[in-house]
């Protein structure tokens, strides 16, 4: 008998894995651009190149597909993997980077507010995947309150720059609103606990 662990071999993605990934991507794109009630499984199936039967087999009803799509999209790890020093600028750069897949988790959260079922799911996932990790990263007795303020600032920026665009930078210096957001986020991070 040889000692030591056996090497782990990379498993090739199965056709089922590829189909699941296409469905999730199509769902994330759809829920990033329209409210939960306006997104149908047929449209997601068409975009994913599959049948609604496969969506139901892999994810169950639309509510569970929405939960899985949003859960996988909400990842604040890239924002927390570095020092607190430039959090605001890092967050704005993260939000404004070009994203060819058009998956916008904050927009998914905003659009979810129109439906009671998706709103409850979005709030639960927001707490678990955004507020709690940021609060732990910030530390202190007020970490959760500060994490909520960060979420409020970011949601407001997304709402008024992407969903209901206001002419914020049109009359002023280009990028002024982004710099303002970065400064406000940094103020929240730098508050003494």
The CATH number of whichever domain residue 50 belongs to comes to: 1.10.10.60
Residues 164-184 have a mean pLDDT of 80
Model confidence over 40-63: pLDDT tens digits? 999 999 999 999 999 999 999 999
Task: State yes or no: pLDDT of 190 exceeds 70.
Answer: yes
Would you say residue 169 lies in a domain? yes
> Total domain count for the chain?
2
The total number of residues written for the chain in this structure: 193
Task: State yes or no: pLDDT of 129 exceeds 70.
Answer: yes
- Looking at the fold, whether 87 and 153 belong to one and the same domain comes out as yes
Query: What is the SS3 string spanning 77-98?
Result: HHHHCCCCCCHHHHHHHHHHCC
Task: State yes or no: pLDDT of 24 exceeds 90.
Answer: yes
Would you say residue 62 lies in a domain? yes
- Looking at the fold, whether 127 and 55 belong to one and the same domain comes out as no
Q: At 8, is the pLDDT very low, low, confident or very high (cuts 50, 70, 90)? A: very low
Quote the tokens at residue 94: 């993260």
Model confidence over 72-105: pLDDT tens digits? 999 999 899 988 999 999 999 888 876 556 688 9
- Looking at the fold, whether 148 and 173 belong to one and the same domain comes out as yes
Query: What's residue 172's pLDDT?
Result: 64
- Looking at the fold, whether 140 and 180 belong to one and the same domain comes out as yes
Non-local CB neighbours of 27 within 8 Å, separated by 6+ positions: 39, 44, 48, 65, 66, 68, 69
Would you say residue 181 lies in a domain? yes
pTM to 2 decimals? 0.85
Would you say residue 1 lies in a domain? no
Q: Whole-number mean pLDDT of the chain?
A: 88
- Looking at the fold, whether 140 and 164 belong to one and the same domain comes out as yes
| Alpha helices for the chain (secondary structure H) | 15-33, 41-48, 52-59, 62-73, 77-80, 87-96, 105-112, 116-126, 132-138, 143-158, 176-190
Distance (Å) of CA 25 to CA 44, 59, 76, 188: 9, 13, 18, 33
Query: What's residue 6's pLDDT?
Result: 45
Query: What's residue 143's pLDDT?
Result: 96
- Looking at the fold, whether 80 and 60 belong to one and the same domain comes out as no
- Looking at the fold, whether 83 and 48 belong to one and the same domain comes out as no
Task: Give the structural domain span for 55.
Answer: 15-67
């Amino acid at each position: 008998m040889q000692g030591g662990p056996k090497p782990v071999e990379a498993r090739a993605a199965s056709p089922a894995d590829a189909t699941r990934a296409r469905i999730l991507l199509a769902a994330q794109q759809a829920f990033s651009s329209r409210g939960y009630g306006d997104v149908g499984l047929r449209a997601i199936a068409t975009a994913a190149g599959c049948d609604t039967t496969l969506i139901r087999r892999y994810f169950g009803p639309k509510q569970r597909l929405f939960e899985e799509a949003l859960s996988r999209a909400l990842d604040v790890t890239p924002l927390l993997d570095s020092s607190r020093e430039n959090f605001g600028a890092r967050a704005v750069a993260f939000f404004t980077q070009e994203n060819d897949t058009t998956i916008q988790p904050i927009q998914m959260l905003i659009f979810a507010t129109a439906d009671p079922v998706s709103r409850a799911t979005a709030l639960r996932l927001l707490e678990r995947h955004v507020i709690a990790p940021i609060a732990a990263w910030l530390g202190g007795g007020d970490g959760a309150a500060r994490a909520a303020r960060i979420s409020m600032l970011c949601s407001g920026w997304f709402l008024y720059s992407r969903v209901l665009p206001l002419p914020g930078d049109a009359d002023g210096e280009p990028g002024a609103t982004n710099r303002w957001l970065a400064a406000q986020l940094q103020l929240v991070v730098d508050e003494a606990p």
